[in-house]
Structure 1
Amino acid sequence: MTVGVVAGALTRWPVAAVLTTVAVLTLPGLLGPDRAAARRTERMEALAAWTEMLRDTLSAAAGLEQAVLATADIAPAALEREMRKLASATRSGHPLPAALRAFAADVDDPLADVVVAALVMAAEQQASQLAPLLGELAESVREQVAMRQRIDAGRASVRTGVRVTVIVTLGMTLGLVVLNRPYLDPFDTWTGQAVLAVVGALFAISFTYLSAIGRIDEPVRLISTDPAGRASAAETGGIS
Structure 2
Amino acid sequence: MPWLLATGSAARRIAKLEALGEWTQRLSDVLRLGLGLQQALVSGRKNAPPALHGEVSELADKLQAGWQAREALEDFAQQVDDVTADKVCAALALCAIDSGPGLAQALEDLAASVRDEVAARRTIEADRAKSRTAVRWMTIISLLVVLAGFAVPHYTAPYATGLGQLVLALLGGAFAAVLAWMRSLAGHRPVPRFLVSDPRSRVRQPAAQGVSP
TM-score, normalised with respect to structure 2: 0.90
Residue 75 (str. 1) matches residue 48 (str. 2)? yes
Farther off after superposition, 217-226 or 62-71? 217-226
Do the aligned partners of 2:132 and 2:186 also contact (CA within 8 Å) in 1? Answer: no
Q: 1:168 to 1:220 in 2, by over 3 A?
A: closer
Residue 222 (str. 1) matches residue 194 (str. 2)? yes
Task: Give the alignment's Cα RMSD to 1 decimal.
Answer: 1.5
Do the aligned partners of 2:15 and 2:51 also contact (CA within 8 Å) in 1? Answer: yes
1:101-155 deviations in Å (ceiling 9; x for gaps): 1111222211100000000111111131111111110111111111111111111
From the two aligned structures, give the one with the greater helix fraction: 1
Query: How far apart are 1:228 and its partner, in Å?
Result: 6.2
Instruction: State the partner residue of 2:130.
Output: 157
Residue 208 (str. 1) matches residue 180 (str. 2)? yes
Do the aligned partners of 1:86 and 1:99 also contact (CA within 8 Å) in 2? Answer: yes
TM-score, normalised with respect to structure 1: 0.80
Separation (CA, whole Å) in 2 of partners of 1:70 and 1:34: 34
Instruction: State the partner residue of 2:98.
Output: 125
Match of residue 174, structure 1, among 125, 142, 147: 147
Identity of aligned residues (%): 37
Which sections of structure 1, spanning at least 5 residues, go unmatched? 1-26, 233-240
Counterpart secondary structure, 1:73: helix
Instruction: State the partner residue of 2:30.
Output: 57
Do the aligned partners of 1:42 and 1:78 also contact (CA within 8 Å) in 2? Answer: yes
Separation (CA, whole Å) in 2 of partners of 1:49 and 1:79: 10
Aligned residues: 203
Q: 1:115 to 1:84 in 2, by over 3 A?
A: same
Instruction: State the partner residue of 2:73.
Output: 100
Which sections of structure 2, spanning at least 5 residues, go unmatched? 204-213
Do the aligned partners of 1:121 and 1:127 also contact (CA within 8 Å) in 2? Answer: no
Do the aligned partners of 1:54 and 1:68 also contact (CA within 8 Å) in 2? Answer: yes
Instruction: State the partner residue of 1:21.
Output: none
Instruction: State the partner residue of 2:14.
Output: 41
Separation (CA, whole Å) in 2 of partners of 1:171 and 1:105: 44
